[in-house]
Structure 1
Amino acid sequence: MAILDKILVGGFILAFILGAVATRTNFCTMGAVSDWVNMGDKNRFRSWVLAIAVAILGVTLAAYAGLVDMGLTTSNDTANPPYRVASFVWLRYIVGGLIFGIGMTLGSGCGNKTLLRLGGGNLKSVFVLLAISAGASLMIFTNFDYNLFLQWMTPLAIDFAKMGASGQDIGSVVNALSGVADSETLNLVFGLAIAALMMIWVFKSADFRASGELILAGLVVGLVVAGGWYLTAGSLGQTLLDEAEFMDVRPYALGAQSFTFVAPTAHAYQYLTQNLSSEFLTFALVAALGVIAGAFVYSLLFRKFRFEWFNSFRDFLNHIIGGFLMGIGGVLAMGCTVGQAITGAATLALGSFVAFGSIVLGSALTMKYQYYKMLYEDASVADVLLTALAEVHLLPGGMRRLEAM
């Protein structure tokens, strides 16, 4: 079996496991934010953070042991996307994350959840994925991203290369600023420390410790993401990159990467419109198919499969707008609730943590807006928005226009 085929098959198997386990445990990042914002329940959010911690721990240890080369993630030529790129365009992570967070709330779930629902028979997900693909394709295959965003964001970037850093990972930045140790050692120290702090916060909750399914979800999702990095940035992935230099046609989106669920919708469009060319059968696309397959098989075996449709035209419109915003925001932020918050965070790239926080904030703000708009149907957009901003502590409480209920 060719090396590329081995990586694609391995990615599909890992994604299949992810799809089945996430369906079984109801792993949902938007649901995690909703539980916290609307009910004060942080347990599903803890499961998400556990997945991040496990991925960070796995990749950090693998990198220090020389099992993966995370230095590949500093260049667009060797990674997809280059999470550790030295040019830290901080605004793209903030704006992209906010847009994605708004979109996933309107679309009733992130890209991963949309794939899981499709595998379980939710036909709404077909339209959401088409909308995500439209937004992502617009960003990836046209100049839309540069014309609307990057031309004014890039000049405000922080160029860590000018400071002597090889990338935006924590170890490289601290090494460049202080010189206290080499970046590999610093990444080990910071990676272990961040993972430990996350796990302490996660497991300090007795309710969470009693929830085997939530623990299982966090462990499996984190391990699957780490496994993706091992496939593409380990010996197989490095050999494939060397071989690609001599290929007549270099496979599209080749490089070190792990699971992300916005870009593959655009890859699927290219694959279908290019006569099923193997050039566009990417790791990300195969992973997305694996998630759908895992969710589908689990749903059939345990009789969870059921068809679902839109409740109204407004429901349809919200999902389409939400999907389109996820496509725009996910590409701009270079990832989603899995692609940045877990996969990207595992590289210790600063942008991943900024994107993670921005996605959560965008989702929480949208939920608060929807809540107060439902309670005060006649209230103006400005009044509802100011109240929502005050609710998420972006404005002083005295600026809220509507009373809490």
Structure 2
Amino acid sequence: MAIPSNVMKDTSAEKHPSLPSPQKMKIAIGIIIIVLLSYAIMNTAGLKNTMTMWVGLLLGITLFHARFGFTSAFRRLVSVGNGQAMRAHMIMMAVACTLFAPILSMGFGFFGNDPSGYVSPVGTSVIVGAFLFGIGMQLGGGCASGTLYAVGGGRTAMFITLIAFIAGSVLGAWHWNFWVNETPSFPAISLATSTDLGYVGAWVVQIILFGLIFGAAYYFDKKRTPPTIKPLPSEKGWTRILRGSWPLWIAAILLAVFNALTLLVRGTPWGVTSAFALWGSKIAMFFGIDVTEWVYWSGERAASLDQSVLMHSTSVLDFGVILGAFLASTAGGIFTLKKVGFKRMSAAVIGGIMMGYGSRIAFGCNIGAYFGGIASFSLHGWVWMIMALAGTFLALYLRPLFGMSVPKPKDTFC
């Protein structure tokens, strides 16, 4: 897909605020943690999970350098019609499904993997879960990937969101059987394998949809002239790679490539929130709650409860994202923890619980269901996007109750 220079506006041409000096001690601590964690994963789970963690590092670095968001993209689009970030999403999706199609069709993967995409049923659980997630991410201040890279970047409120996210994931796992098995649902539908389109035909259909959404976002930008995204602090020249902001379209391409690499390395696309359900359920077991009685923890998932989290590929991916964002933020000299007010803390708790619960019953979050689902040619990914946008619309009326801003037509926002 060709990207006209006037369509994906790069703020590199605008004046970027300067950055403070690198936080060398924190960088050193981050590197030591990465080395020790890599050693522990290698000894516990082997090369496959070690490589998975390192792919997570690349994802975290990319997310932070571009401040690549899903929460803010949906909020800007719904509130003032700014489609800059949404256009980046469509570029990311187009590149991802272009890479996923041959991998999935040929069954090629590393470590003897037989890769499989995220193709899930389309039913009540996805509709309700994605809607709850859309509300939750606007109150919590970030989506699943956003929460991880914001924690790595030192945003204090996101530590609270993460804890609540884990709690909500446990509640979602507890109620999973009701939503998934006892409410109305269609079976899993792949545009590639559940129809006569095949991967080539499904790819063509999705590329057309991405182009239409991209074009519509660009048209409304020109028609409504909404506020643009303010340039982020950055260095100039080659140092911008390590200490600065990256254009959204560059990050979109890199995230798609790294997601495809994740598919090759571990056999499934990038995911985030199944790890939260695991961490929370292990904590629940420690306090005497028998989560093994829940349907969610039956079958293949059950083994994870008795194993080290280093054996769980999504967990090590998440660790990598956090550490990658930590390295990027400390290299930019901007890792700083701040106090959080009561209203913001309340929003973080409510939003985190809603995201955790919603992602469990909707077969994933903005990464696993939206990004991974659509890239895997699953219809549930498109349904997830629509319902999360609907949840975002409602959340715009709830954010002011917690002292949180909503973009206005004359704003300039980060």
Give TM-score, length-normalised by structure 1.
0.70
Give 4+ residue runs of structure 1 displaced > 3 Å after superposition.
1-4, 183-208, 269-277, 368-375
1:32-62 alpha-carbon deviations (Å, 9 max, x no partner): 1122223321101211222222211110132
Q: Say whether residues 1:14 and 2:55 are aligned partners.
A: yes
Say which is worse superposed, 194-203 or 110-119, in terms of deviation: 194-203
1:58-88 alpha-carbon deviations (Å, 9 max, x no partner): 101322344259xx99xxxx96xx7325xx3
Q: Say whether residues 1:302 and 2:337 are aligned partners.
A: no
Q: Say whether residues 1:42 and 2:77 are aligned partners.
A: no
Which residue matches 1:146?
Answer: 177
1:3 shift after superposition: 11
Contact kept, 8 Å, 2:190 with 2:378, in 1: the verdict is yes
1:108 shift after superposition: 0.7
Q: Say whether residues 1:92 and 2:125 are aligned partners.
A: yes
Which residue matches 1:260?
Answer: 271
Within 5 Å, which residues of 2 pair with 1:337-376? 337-370=366-399
1:333 shift after superposition: 0.9
Q: Say whether residues 1:225 and 2:259 are aligned partners.
A: yes
Q: Say whether residues 1:287 and 2:320 are aligned partners.
A: no
- Partner of 1:307, secondary structure, is coil
Within 5 Å, which residues of 2 pair with 1:5-404? 5-68=46-109, 83-85=118-120, 88-140=121-173, 142=174, 144-147=175-178, 149-150=179-180, 152-153=182-183, 156-159=184-187, 168-175=189-196, 183-191=198-206, 193-194=208-209, 213-233=247-267, 257-270=268-281, 277-278=307-308, 281-311=311-341, 313-370=342-399
Shift of the 317–68 alpha-carbon distance from structure 1 to 2, 3 Å rule, reads: same
State how far apart, in whole Å, the 2-side matches of 1:107 and 1:45 are: 20
Counterpart code for 2:256: G
- Partner of 1:170, secondary structure, is coil
Shift of the 212–131 alpha-carbon distance from structure 1 to 2, 3 Å rule, reads: closer
1:213-255 alpha-carbon deviations (Å, 9 max, x no partner): 111111111111111111122xxxxxxxxxxxxxxxxxxxxxx
State how far apart, in whole Å, the 2-side matches of 1:357 and 1:95 are: 11
Shift of the 374–188 alpha-carbon distance from structure 1 to 2, 3 Å rule, reads: closer
Contact kept, 8 Å, 1:95 with 1:329, in 2: the verdict is yes
Shift of the 103–12 alpha-carbon distance from structure 1 to 2, 3 Å rule, reads: same
1:98-157 alpha-carbon deviations (Å, 9 max, x no partner): 0001111110111111111111122222221111111112222x3x2234x34541xx22
- Partner of 1:284, secondary structure, is helix
1:27 shift after superposition: 0.6
- Partner of 1:33, secondary structure, is helix
Shift of the 7–319 alpha-carbon distance from structure 1 to 2, 3 Å rule, reads: same
Which residue matches 2:293?
Answer: none
Contact kept, 8 Å, 1:50 with 1:198, in 2: the verdict is no
Contact kept, 8 Å, 1:15 with 1:288, in 2: the verdict is yes
State how far apart, in whole Å, the 1-side matches of 2:186 and 2:251 are: 36
State how far apart, in whole Å, the 2-side matches of 1:65 and 1:226 are: 14
State how far apart, in whole Å, the 1-side matches of 2:403 and 2:57 are: 38
- Partner of 1:174, secondary structure, is coil
1:373 shift after superposition: 10
Contact kept, 8 Å, 1:171 with 1:190, in 2: the verdict is no
Contact kept, 8 Å, 2:119 with 2:190, in 1: the verdict is yes
Say which is worse superposed, 36-45 or 352-361, in terms of deviation: 36-45
1:158 shift after superposition: 2.4
Amino-acid identity (%): 22
Shift of the 221–202 alpha-carbon distance from structure 1 to 2, 3 Å rule, reads: farther
Which residue matches 2:16?
Answer: none
Unaligned runs of 5+ in 2: 1-41, 223-227, 232-244, 287-304, 405-414
Contact kept, 8 Å, 1:271 with 1:280, in 2: the verdict is no
Counterpart code for 1:299: S
Q: Which has the higher contact order (CA 8 A, sep 6+)?
A: 2
Q: What RMSD in Å do the two structures reach over aligned CA positions?
A: 3.5
- Partner of 2:365, secondary structure, is coil
State how far apart, in whole Å, the 2-side matches of 1:223 and 1:9 are: 18
Shift of the 38–188 alpha-carbon distance from structure 1 to 2, 3 Å rule, reads: closer
Say which is worse superposed, 198-207 or 215-224, in terms of deviation: 198-207
Unaligned runs of 5+ in 1: 160-166, 176-180, 234-256, 376-405
